A = this chain, B = another copy of it.
Amino acid sequence: MKEFDLIGRYFSDGGHTRKDVVIGIGDDCAVTNVPSNQQLAVTTDTLVAGVHFLEDAPAKSVAYKTVAVNLSDLAAMGAEPAWISLSLSLPTVNDEWLSEFVDGLYELTQYYSVQLIGGDTVKGPMAMTITAQGFIPPGSELTRSNAKPGDWVYVTGTLGDAGAGLDILQNKLNVAGEARDVLINRHYYPTPRVAMGTALRRIASSCIDVSDGLISDLGHILKASGCGANVHVDKLPLSRALTSAVDNAQAIEYALSAGDDYELIFTVGEEQRGNFETSMGGSSVKATCIGQLTGQAGQLSLLKDNQPFTPTNENGYEHTF
């Protein structure tokens, strides 16, 4: 199948361009150059209207989020983003919607120096798939499987905001003023932690991004690494917006189980902690230590004031089957 007019009309002559792209949009394939001393990281994520974003979400947010979730996967691997391919399925062609979508897309590609190198536009239910590619020096990739008992558990930024934002948009939570805008923006326009991901190379022992909630995503690290964890819920980083909008118990619930924050959860061994503190010195993104890994494979123990803590929802927030 070929890329029809849509690609030509909306995507062909804009966006950030990179010198390592030999052929971009417009032929059967894109052709690119991977630096000879780098490995290639590849990730694919699909967002479906009504499943992964609200049917009436602003087009700019849909574009932003589709790019951000993919760059977030690259960040969680420690990769530096380079190129994205977009497949866009739309039931109808709406010029205004598409222009806004392209604006959102290019805002992120420009900011992260990523080039849109190709894609496909098809008639179908509203959904978008991006494959993002980036570079990692050999041996520097941050996997889920390399954590060890005793490693410290960190998380970037603050947790739970995007989940509260979604609940506000769905009229499940009533919040006014600035906090409302902050929380909704965190849902609509997540920030992929790209610089943090590359800074953690050879420092973090494991890493994952928070798409489905802390419990669920930390669980993937525990499973892949054969570890357990003690997590102190009173140490979870909470935004002022969230704590001003809901009480502490609810804020903790959001932080533990709501998804779509796209912060990074990572582990750092005791022997790397000095390196880590040094390299984080200049970072604008805060990382908070929330607990420590244990040898009890698969056991995630939540603690509050050092006492066992039971969350209301232990399953995280799963979009899919």
Contact = CB atoms under 8 A, between A and B. Distances in A.
Nearest to A260: B1
Contact of A320 (B29, B46, B121): B121
A6 B46 CA distance: 14
B127 A52 contact: no
Interface in A196-216: 207-209, 211-212
Contact of A45 (B1, B31, B77): B1
Contacts of A170: none
A46 B29 CA distance: 14
A29 B74 contact: yes
Contacts of A34: 34, 40
Interface stretch (A54-62, A84-92, A250-258, A296-304): A84-92
Interface residues of A, number: 73
Contacts of A6: 320-321
Given A1-B69, A31-B39, A34-B40, 19 more contacts: A1-B52, A1-B212, A2-B211, A4-B321, A28-B43, A28-B77, A28-B144, A29-B76, A31-B41, A32-B40, A33-B39, A33-B40, A42-B83, A44-B86, A44-B119, A44-B129, A45-B120, A48-B124, A87-B87
